[in-house]
Amino acid sequence: MTEHPAASKMRSNLRRHASAGKIHQVRSNVTNGGESLVDSLHHHVDEHTALLHRAFQNSDGKPLYEDERPWVRWPMNFAYTAWQTLTSNPVNILLVFVPLGIIAGAIHWNPSVVFCLNFLAIIPLASLLSFATEELSVKLGQTLGGLLNATFGNAVELIVSIVALKNGEIRIVQASMLGSILSNILLVLGCCFLAGGIKHKEQRFNSTVASTMSSLMAVSTASLIIPATLYAAMGHSKPTDLKKDNILILSHGTAVILLILYALYLFFQLKTHANLFDEESEPEAGEDGGAEGGESEGHILSPWAAGVALVIITVMVAVCAEYLVDSIDSIVESAHISRTFIGLILLPIVGNAAEHVTAVVVATKNKMDLAIGVAIGSSMQIALLVTPFLVILGWIMHEPMSLQFEIFETVVFFLAVLVTNYLISDGKSNYLEGAMLIGMYIIIALAFYVYPDDAAGNANSLWDMISQH
């Protein structure tokens, strides 16, 4: 979900700048190598391109996917489109784990093997889901494209959480949502600051946009703190079941309000204050020249093909997620890893790996507004859209999904948002700030690694004792 409501434009820019980074790296490497090295490189690229195109051409030099014979055109068009789609991201090489993961889950292999294979399988599926969403959103325009990306941008996390919610794994769902937010605002943003700061002494970004996003993140933090403190404040004044019912009522109402706030943010970004979000994009469009700008728009998949790809990939993600979640119990018992650590640290890696790498590449290109949009924008979507939606879905499914996170998790979330807001408030970044964010994420990961699942009850008992005095 890379992320951000106007992600159709941002995702295209991410791909363009990631590709441009490779070109500039080659140029810098051959600067001192003389014209002969440059000519040799161009000759090699031209020869490779000619061989690739020749495989898709007939004897007249016309592409086979444009051949007049339908029995030639349709299969070759499918093969050519599939090739371009599969080569859109290097991480797609991990697609070999998709059939392996499904087979392993279907014939009941060792749960640890099933977990690892499906864990690796979902990473390239998330990349393809992002690619197909971008291709479709280009044809729909900025507004509808932004809404589409808001829906599918965090689809992997959403699918995994829905499967876990269906199985009654409330702790996995809550930890996965919190982990996705922490991964984006600490690990990804920290890597962007660090990688960009090493290459550039100081980088600047749109502080107004970042401040708006961070303010909404602060509101979402309050929506988690209030239920946790209310549960503790009730103490023994009411039976436990009645307290949980009250928390559910509060969570349902809060979820509706958060969804309304997210809708208002979409209207704020796409309509009334669009100039704030577009002012950094306009110079970027003409910065790299017409050739690169023309290739930045996705034109590989037709709207129908992109729609079919979205459906197929979503189904495959759901199947892999089903096997992944079903194997968690065995992983917890055999590897002695808590459910909280799996949901908070491991699962967020699945849906965000491909986009995280691209965000770091963009940061090294000094395009910090795009990097901020990926990191904080994706976190904001999880906090204001995905988590409230899961609370409402749990309400419909009669599952006790609430916004009452554990005390320790709530405190960690508050501190992470607080530190992030401080670091982005001035609109500038450097490598030291990136190291701070990464260091804090590692500390949190270590804390949750040693954090047992039964610690929640002990924490609540402590709060009950404090409230009595």
DSSP three-state, residue 131? helix
pLDDT value of residue 7: 47
Residues 408-441: pLDDT tens digits?
888 999 999 999 988 888 888 889 999 999 999 9
C-alpha 411, offset from chain centre: 23
Using CA atoms, how far apart are residues 181 and 159, in angstroms rounded to an integer? Answer: 16
As a dihedral over the C-alpha atoms of residue 339, residue 342, residue 348, residue 353, rounded to 10 degrees, the angle is -170
What is the rounded average pLDDT of the residues 158-179? Answer: 87
Least confident of 51-55, 146-150, 249-253: 51-55
pLDDT at 2 over 50: no
DSSP three-state, residue 63? strand
Between 306 and 137, residue with greater pLDDT? 306
Using CA atoms, how far apart are residues 231 and 174, in angstroms rounded to an integer? Answer: 17
pLDDT value of residue 387: 92
What is the rounded average pLDDT of the residues 162-186? Answer: 88
Using CA atoms, how far apart are residues 174 and 387, in angstroms rounded to an integer? Answer: 8
Residues 297-318: pLDDT tens digits?
446 777 788 888 888 888 888 8
The residue whose two tokens read 């107004």 is 208
What is the rounded average pLDDT of the residues 65-85? Answer: 66
- Tell me which range, 32-36, 87-91, 407-411, 461-465, is most confidently predicted by mean pLDDT: 407-411
The residue whose two tokens read 């979507």 is 381
Residues 201-215: pLDDT tens digits?
888 888 777 888 888
Mean pLDDT of the chain: 75
What percentage of the chain reaches a pLDDT higher than 90?
14
Between 316 and 233, residue with greater pLDDT? 316
pLDDT band for position 463 (cuts 50, 70, 90): very low
pLDDT at 189 over 60: yes
- Tell me which range, 130-144, 226-240, 256-270, is most confidently predicted by mean pLDDT: 256-270
pLDDT band for position 119 (cuts 50, 70, 90): confident
What is the rounded average pLDDT of the residues 57-86? Answer: 64
Using CA atoms, how far apart are residues 408 and 448, in angstroms rounded to an integer? Answer: 10
Using CA atoms, how far apart are residues 316 and 95, in angstroms rounded to an integer? Answer: 11
Beta carbons of 357 and 349 less than 8 angstroms apart? no
pLDDT value of residue 256: 94
Beta carbons of 151 and 325 less than 8 angstroms apart? no
pLDDT band for position 141 (cuts 50, 70, 90): low
pLDDT at 362 over 70: yes
**Nearest alpha-carbon partner for 356 in 370, 335, 339, 336:** 370
What is the rounded average pLDDT of the residues 146-152? Answer: 61
pLDDT band for position 103 (cuts 50, 70, 90): very high
Residues 281-297: pLDDT tens digits?
444 444 444 334 434 44
pLDDT at 186 over 80: yes
Between 74 and 407, residue with greater pLDDT? 407
pLDDT band for position 392 (cuts 50, 70, 90): very high
What percentage of the chain reaches a pLDDT higher than 70?
69
One-letter amino acid of 431: Y
All residues at 6 or more sequence positions from 240 whose CB lies less than 8 Å from its CB, including other chains: none
- Tell me which range, 41-50, 153-162, 222-231, is most confidently predicted by mean pLDDT: 222-231
One-letter amino acid of 285: A
